[in-house]
Structures are given as C-alpha cells and as structure tokens.
Amino acid sequence: MERKKITVPELIQKKKTGEKISMLTAYDYPTARVMERVGVDSVLVGDSLGMVVLGYDSTVPVTMDEMLHHIKAVRRGIKNPLLIGDMPFMSYQVSARQAVANAGRMMKEGGCDCVKLEGGVEVTPQVKAITDAGIPVCAHIGLTPQSVASLGGYKVQGKDLGGAQKLIDDAGALYEAGARLIVFECIPSALAAAITKNTPLVTIGIGAGPDCDGQVLVIHDLVGLAERNPPKMARQYVNLFPQLEQAVSSYAQEVRSAAFPAPEHGFAMDQAVVDQLKF
C-alpha cells in the first residue's frame, strides 16, 4: 500500500477529525523497518535508549552523540512516519542558545522531523527559540524521567489540584511558546482527557488513559525485550526475552555438541583441490 509522509500539520488534522495517532519508540534499523512497513504514524527515538538499550540506570547519562548514533540508524529505516528525536538531559536546559544548537544537530545530522524535550513553563524560552528556528517541537510533561531526582522517583503526576493545575498551565504555556505536540507521561486519565479536549496541542499519552489524541509506548515493553515485567501502563503483545534466551541457549548447546553447523551450513570445495594442498 502506498503511504504518504506524516507531518506535524497532518497530526493536527488527525486530532481535528478524531483519528487516533500511533507512536512508538525505536532505536535501531530493523525495528525502524518494521515500523515503516506497518505504517505507524510517528517513531520516537527516546532517551529511554539509555535504559532499554544501553543499560544505564536512568536517562540522565545519555549524550547527544549517543542519541544521534541511534537516530541515524532509525532514519535509514523509515521514510513516512514522523521521526522525533529526544533531546537528552543537559542538551537544552542550559540556555535557549544551547537548545537551538542541539535541536539543529538532531535535524541536520540525525534527519529528524521534530524534537522532543521535557518540562513545562520553565522550558518555554527553549521551545520558543527552537520553533523560531523552524524546528517543530514535541513537549513532554507529567512524569519527566530526566527530572527523576527532583520528582523523588517514577511517580504519577498531577493527582492533586495544585499538581493538575500546574500541568494545565504548562500545556498552555508550551503551546503559546510554539509546541504543537505534547507527551503526557503517567498522569491521571481524567486530567489527560480534559486537557486534550481543551488544548489545540496534539496530545500523546503514555500511562495517561485512552482519551489522548494518540498513544506512545517503549517498543521493548510492547515486545517483552527486557528481564523485568512491563510497567503498568504498557501492554505486552509478545514476550521475546525468554524466546531469545531459548534460541541462544540452543545455539550454545549445539556448538558444544557439534550439532551446529550441519553440512548444509558449509561451502563445498573440489576434493582434487584439497588433495593438492601442501602443509
């Protein structure tokens, strides 16, 4: 089926017509190919990279160079989905100038269509500077993993009146600053539904209920590619980790017992040539 390139205006149009938006994370070429073939609307190279692929304890250590390395691989694998690059910790917090420079790298070197950054009112100067430079921005509020130290852990946000009002105000300020997409991570479903109804921002939820304009999940949670159980907000569609473990174990056993490789895995040579070899 012929598909067309997804753009930010197209996602805004989907919000208007009520067509739900599918977004998933990817960090490598083969996963990106699957997403291109299936036709997901948007692929996010999240800084979750640090935890699910690079083995860090949090997203805090992830660098711009690590992000770009993986964004480039994903870019080679997709043509149509909107490619969003996640700005890692300390690649935009220092100043609007730093934010524009690094968002520019995401676009020029990584081939991104949009950049994502975490935070509310406090990052609006960065959002304004990036969008003024012609780069689309996806905001991210609620549970913002880069601030896990100040949030005091991976907790649901916006459950009380003050917290909920802050998220509403953040969303409004981020739209005014130029963001057109926003991720809601781990906020109550009723709050996500109410903001979605009252904002022109395209809202993408993860642990934010069914009434956002779209949903995003970390691909490793969806396919069970982790030793731990998937988090509460994810649905695991297949559990690959034990299957991979089984395959690797069978290979190792067969190498030890010489059951692998079999004759059909090798390459033939004339016996006459073999006979002439000198040692």
Pick the closest to residue 192 from 223, 222, 157 (CA basis): 157
Site for ligand KIV in 219-278 (CB under 6 A): none
Q: Choose among 129, 120, 140: nearest CA to 47.
A: 140
One-letter amino acid of 77: G
b/e per residue, 208-244, with b = 16+ CB within 10 A? Answer: bbeebbbbbbbbbbbbbbbeeebeebbebeeebeeee
114-118 and 202-206: which strand pairing? Answer: unpaired
User: Minimal distance in Å, beta carbon 243 to ligand KIV?
Assistant: 23
When the beta carbons of 65 and 245 are compared against ligand KIV, the nearer one is 65
At 181, the amino acid letter reads L
Q: Residue 54 class from Cβ within 10 Å (0-12 exposed, 13-18 middle, 19+ buried)?
A: middle
With binding defined as CB under 6 A, does residue 216 bind ligand KIV?
A: yes
Burial class for 272, CB neighbours closer than 10 Å (0-12, 13-18, 19+): exposed
Site track 150-189 with ligand KIV (rule: CB under 6 A), x = hit? ---------------------------------x-x----
206 contributes a contact to ligand KIV by CB under 6 A: yes
Cis-peptide, bond into residue 81, ω within 30° of zero: no
Of positions 68, 171, 191, 218, contacts ligand KIV by CB under 6 A: 218
- Count of residues engaged in binding ligand KIV, rule: CB under 6 A: 12
x/- string (CB under 6 A) for ligand KIV, residues 79-118?
A: -------x--------------------------------
At its nearest, how many Å lie between ligand KIV and the CB of residue 25?
4
- Phi (first) and psi of residue 91, to 5 degrees: -100, -5
**Shortest distance in whole angstroms from residue 48 CB to ligand KIV:** 3
**Least CB distance from residue 238 to ligand KIV, whole Å?**
19
Distance CA 30, CA 32 (A): 5
Residues numbered 5 to 64 that lie near ligand KIV (CB under 6 A) are 25, 44, 46-48
Q: Is 185 a catalytic residue?
A: yes
Question: Which residue in 36, 66, 118, 185 is the catalytic one?
Answer: 185
Q: Please, which of residues 118-147 interact with ligand KIV by CB under 6 A?
A: 140
- 153 versus 162: smaller Cβ distance to ligand KIV: 153
Contacts 24+ apart (CB under 8 A), 208-213: 208/142, 208/184, 212/184, 213/11, 213/14, 213/15, 213/20, 213/21
Min. distance of Cβ 250 from ligand KIV in angstroms?
A: 32
Q: Report, in Å, the least distance between residue 74 CB and ligand KIV.
A: 12
Which residues of this protein are in contact with ligand KIV, per CB under 6 A?
25, 44, 46-48, 86, 140, 183, 185, 206, 216, 218
User: Which residues are identified as catalytic?
Assistant: 185
